[in-house]
Structure formats: C-alpha cells, structure tokens
Amino acid sequence: MTAKLNQLSVRQQVMVLYTANSALDTGVIAWSFYDGTGKTVHMAGDQNDPPYRTGLDALLDGWRLIQASPLISHVSGDEFRTDYLKYEFFFEKMIEQVVQMEGL
C-alpha cells in the first residue's frame, strides 16, 4: 500500500525579457513567463504591459539573470537584415512549494 507524503520541493519560474538595446537598464519591449510551479499559466497575447520597465527592475525584485544574448557581428553583405528580437535576457526565481509524493 502506498501513502501520499507532503514534501518541500523547489520549482523554477522563468521570465524572459527583451530590451531595447544590450543594456539591462533599457526599456522592456517584449516578455514571456513560464511558471514551473503550475500556479499561473501564461500564453501569447495575455498581457499588454511589461512586468518590469527595465531588466534592472527585475533584478531589484529578486529575479536572477541566468542568460543574456551575446552581441554578434553583422554578416558582411547582410548588415541591414533584421530577424529575431535581439536582446534577450533569461531570468529565474526558485520557488519552494509543498508537493505530494508517493511513499511506502
């Protein structure tokens, strides 16, 4: 027979901010959230206002920066080409939560 056990576990929340240039203290132009706690669900087009004015504001609110897009040289002959949003910053928060585990 198995029993359900409550256990403290850690889940990751990920926030991605896209800024107007490569500095973290410039304005946010696009953003995404992925919530590993399962408490909130986010999807395309669900918000019209950025969660933070700048990337620096996110740091001040406790988000940890885990990845920033590098600055890439422009390919000769293709300097005017534009494609993906250029300045991407991944942040995380680790959230403790009680989860139910199967136990003996």
| Site membership for other proteins, residue 73 (CB under 8 A) | no
First vs last Cα of the chain: how many Å apart? Answer: 7
Helix intervals (H) in 1-104:
55-60
| Site membership for other proteins, residue 81 (CB under 8 A) | yes
Among 32, 43, 31, 38, smallest CA distance to 11 is for 38
Contact letters (x/-) for other proteins, 5-44, by CB under 8 A?
-----------x-xxxx----x-xxxxxx-------xxxx
- Scanning 2-10, 56-64, 85-93, 96-104 for contacts with other proteins by CB under 8 A, the matching segment is 85-93
Interface with other proteins (CB under 8 A), residue from 86, 92, 93, 95: 86
Query: In angstroms, rounded to a whole number, what is the distance separating the alpha carbons of residues 103 and 81?
Result: 56
Which residues are near other proteins by CB under 8 A?
16, 18-21, 26, 28-33, 41-48, 50, 80-87
